[in-house]
Structure 1
Amino acid sequence: MTVLVQLTPPWTPEAETAHLGDLLALARSRTGDDRQRLLLAITTLCEANPPAEELSEVLGEVLLMLAHQVERDVRRILAERLAKADWAPHALVNMLALDEIEIARPILASSPMLQDDDLIVVLVQATIEHQIEVARRPSLSGRVADTIIDRAEPATLTALASNRTAEISPDGVRRLVEHSRRIAALRAPLTRHPRLTDALAEQLYQWVGTALRQAIGARFQIDDSHLDTSVQQAVDKAFGDSPLALASVESTEFEESERRLIAKLHAADQLRPSYLVRAVREKRLNLFVHGLAALGGFSVAEVRGALNAGSPEAIYYACSAVGIDRAVFVAMINEIRLLNDGAPGTYGAQVWLRGSISAASAARAFRALAHDNAVAKV
């Protein structure tokens, strides 16, 4: 029997010189194909000989520049090859993590270079598909898990609840159980969650179906008939027969979750004007209110007063004060009116047509109008 063995040529100075000569030739070329070959050749070289720490910054800049110039198929291959590399340049990994989802997926799932702050940026800036991949990431930290829970996106919450390795705090599990009251998809993974306690199981039992009640009863050795009676008594005592009371509690809890999210983003210097615009587009008006108040140093009451005023002038000044471009204001205020029963009204001049205004001047104008509104209500 003949056995074929592929031998790796021994390293020689001449071979190394020839290899470097090939890289230099590719570097001098201006064609797209050669740029792609150069990018993958440097990656192969780094895989074989991970760069020393003092060289990684230079290599990172080169690879980042090349990655910006190549086609998506090459970026996808690059992401797959860098997904588990502990030498990969941090800036390049972050760029790939925010790329379209087919490119970002292996990076989000496995890259050891992504830190908590990087993952939180993905949660804030990227698509829901990116957010789901973050929630599925093995051994996800408690800080990132809390951010996911604060954001309260149903699909991302469900992915987190299904992630058995995520470091979810006891309070985080409690909040997931609370969210499962309105998000049915959360209930099944929570019944199997290793951090579900007896007390939380009884709470979850209140709003699951028959099959999941049986699963909870079997896992926690609960007497279903006894718990059914206890649950009904607790519900009657807390809410009576009024569905409006239950809805009010859920609304208050949801707004508090959004307030905590804004506070965390602001403390981490991750809150941006673009996030407020996105919040309006996603029909999350409370998130916009708390975000605008935090960025501008305004009170929530002042922002709500501006949103309910007869004129959009005050809310325009507040938006200008935090850096929201006046070019997007008209579209944004129209979306706000759809979410806020038509307010603010259309009375007054269209001040956004007068030209740009400094952030400091806009903040002063907003506070003056907010004060006038407060005095008028007294």
Structure 2
Amino acid sequence: MGITALCDAQPPSGELSPVLGEIFLLLARQAERDVRRILSERLAHAEWAPKALVNVLALDEIEIARPIIAASPLLQDEDLLAILVQATIEHQIEVARRPRLSGRVADAIIDRAEPATLTALASNRTAEISGEGLRRMVDHSRRIAALRAPLTRHPRLSDVQARQLYQWVGAALRQSIAERFSIDEQALQAEIDKAVDGAWRNAQPSAVVAPDPDREEMERRLIDKMQAAGQLKAGFLIRAIRESRLSLFAQAMATLGGYSLGQVREALAAKTPESLYYACASVGIDRAAFPALLDDIRRLNGGPPGDAGAAVWLRGDISPISAARAFRALVQADIPGTV
């Protein structure tokens, strides 16, 4: 801290000497967590700071990295892109919040399509988001509910994008959009109702897909191998839905949660998403990720589970044991492993 104070009082002219840079790196590697955190805060705005040290601190635990990611003038696009690839989701969110974020980094965040990072980017009014980038974010908001509110307030939202977003938001956000843009709510609602009705009629013949025994057997073997190797995790279920493999999701959920396939299918066909939420919570799927997952499941499943009942995932966290107990109380008592 004494060396930092000296440099603050009389910033080095030109490039920092290699010796001084080595001193900072050596001290930072040996320093306790609280010292590194204070050092990060002191160097966050320093233009004279050693570049190597800034990069080290930016990849440290999030409480240490946050001031550097948010403000350091030494972090270039390449450094921020590296953080997106190498660091945790908390680090990625801080990158998305960084003031005056470049269009190159914003596009990389949109390409990754991580819900929490996209939501942070949508709330960043100074980020350089292109018209195409904003359009893609509006498209993502169809499955990521948390994106909708910040997008309705985004200063560069166009009339066309506002109309598209209007279809997916609730009453309060619709009023906000209608006040900001010239939207005939009654006329647009009539068009939305027609589109939904037409899509539903077209989807009806193929909404229920006959089981494919061969495919299900292959999926069951894959799940059994992953379970035996200790590789079956909550992330696999989310990936299965993103890859439009609802049957694989059901098989994995049954195995990971210790449920029967019939119980999982009952939850997928229910009038309310409550039992499906408890099943997801019991295997470690975060409640913040559930709304987007539910939207994707409904799309793959031809509509169900329905939207009756309360949004139980908004009530707060629930332990996996309690969630499993609640799930079994809601579905019929099948013997695990049966169809």
How high is the TM-score relative to the length of structure 1?
Answer: 0.54
Match of 2:19 in 1: 58
SS in 2 for 1:96: helix
Instruction: Check whether the contact 2:58–2:68 (CA below 8 A) recurs between aligned residues.
Output: yes
Pick from 86, 92, 95 the counterpart of residue 53 of structure 2: 92
Aligned to 1:166: 127
Distance 2:129 2:206 in 1: 29
Letter in 2 for 1:222: I
2:43 pairs with 1:82: yes
Matches of residues 15-94 of structure 1 in structure 2 within 5 Å? 40-94=1-55
Shift of 1:229: 1.7
Q: In the superposition, relative to structure 1, how do residues 181 and 244 fare at CA in structure 2: closer, same or farther (>3 Å)?
A: farther
* Alignment partner of 2:94 out of 127, 130, 133: 133
Q: What letter matches 1:123 in structure 2? A: L
Structure 2 Cα separation of the partners of residues 155 and 209 of structure 1: 20
The 3 A distance-change label for structure 1 pair 234 and 103 is same
Unaligned runs of 5+ in 2: 208-217, 223-228, 241-247, 253-339
* Cα distance between partner residues in 1 of 2:84 and 2:200: 35
Q: Given the alignment of the two structures, is residue 111 of structure 1 paired with residue 72 of structure 2, yes or no?
A: yes
Which residue identity is paired with 2:20? L
Larger radius of gyration: 1
Contact 1:64 1:92 in 2 (8 A): yes
Cα offset for 1:235? 4.6
Please tell me the residue identity of whatever aligns with 1:161. Answer: A
Q: CA, structure 1 residues 163+337, in 2 after alignment: closer, same or farther (shift >3 Å)? A: closer
> What's 2:138 paired with?
177
CA contact (8 A) 1:132 1:155 kept: yes
Distance 1:145 1:225 in 2: 35
- The percent identity for this pair of structures is 67
Structure 1 residues 184 and 83, CA, compared in 2 at 3 Å: closer, same or farther? same
Q: Report deviation, 1:241.
A: 4.8
| Shift in CA distance, 214/153, structure 1 to aligned 2, threshold 3 Å | same
- Quick one: which amino acid aligns to residue 111 of structure 2? D
The offset of 1:59, in angstroms, is 2.0
Checking the alignment, whether the CA contact within 8 Å between 1:161 and 1:189 is kept in structure 2 is yes
Aligned to 1:144: 105
* CA-to-aligned-CA distance 1:179-198 (integer Å, 9 cap, x gap): 11111111111111011100
Whether contact under 8 Å (2:101, 2:126) holds in the other structure is: yes
Structure 2 distance, partners of 1:180, 1:233, is: 21
Give, in whole Å, the separation in 2 of the partners of 1:52 and 1:98: 27
From 133, 155, 169, the equivalent of 2:116 is 155
**Greater relative contact order, per chain length (Cα 8 Å cut-off, separation 6+):** 2
Shift of residue 117, structure 1, vs aligned partner: 1.2
Partner of residue 121, structure 1: 82
CA distance in 2, matches of 1:194, 1:245: 41
Q: Letter of the aligned partner of 2:147 in structure 1?
A: L
**Over aligned residue pairs, what C-alpha RMSD do you find?**
3.1
Distance 2:73 2:198 in 1: 49
Partner of 2:171: 210
Q: Could you tell me how far 1:242 is from its partner in structure 2?
A: 2.6
* Alpha carbons of structure 1 residues 80 and 245: separation in structure 2 relative to 1, 3 Å: farther
Q: How many angstroms does 1:95 deviate by?
A: 0.7
1:192 aligns with 2:153: yes
Q: 2:67 & 2:185 partners in 1: Cα distance?
A: 44
Shift in CA distance, 99/336, structure 1 to aligned 2, threshold 3 Å: closer
Moved more, 47-56 or 174-183: 47-56
In structure 2, do the counterparts of structure 1 residues 67 and 337 end up closer, same or farther at CA, with 3 Å as the change threshold? closer
Deviation at 1:244, TM superposition (A): 11
Contact 1:85 1:112 in 2 (8 A): yes
Q: 1:231 to 1:98 in 2, by over 3 A?
A: same
How far the C-alpha of 1:232 sits from its partner, in A, is: 3.2
Equivalent residue runs for 1:192-271 within 5 Å: 192-235=153-196, 240-242=201-203
Q: For the residues of structure 2 that align with 1:122 and 1:194, how far apart are their CA atoms?
A: 27
Asked if 1 retains the 8 angstrom alpha-carbon contact of 2:16 and 2:50, the reply is: no
Q: CA separation in 2, counterparts of 1:68 and 1:245?
A: 60
Q: Provide the rounded CA distance (Å) in 1 between the counterparts of 2:149 and 2:235.
A: 37
Give the 3 Å change call, closer, same or farther, for CA 117–52 of structure 1 in structure 2. same
Superposed CA offset, 1:206-240 (max 9, x none):
11011111111110021100111223344556675
Contact residue 239 and residue 245 of structure 1 kept, 8 A: no
Aligned equivalent of 2:63:
102
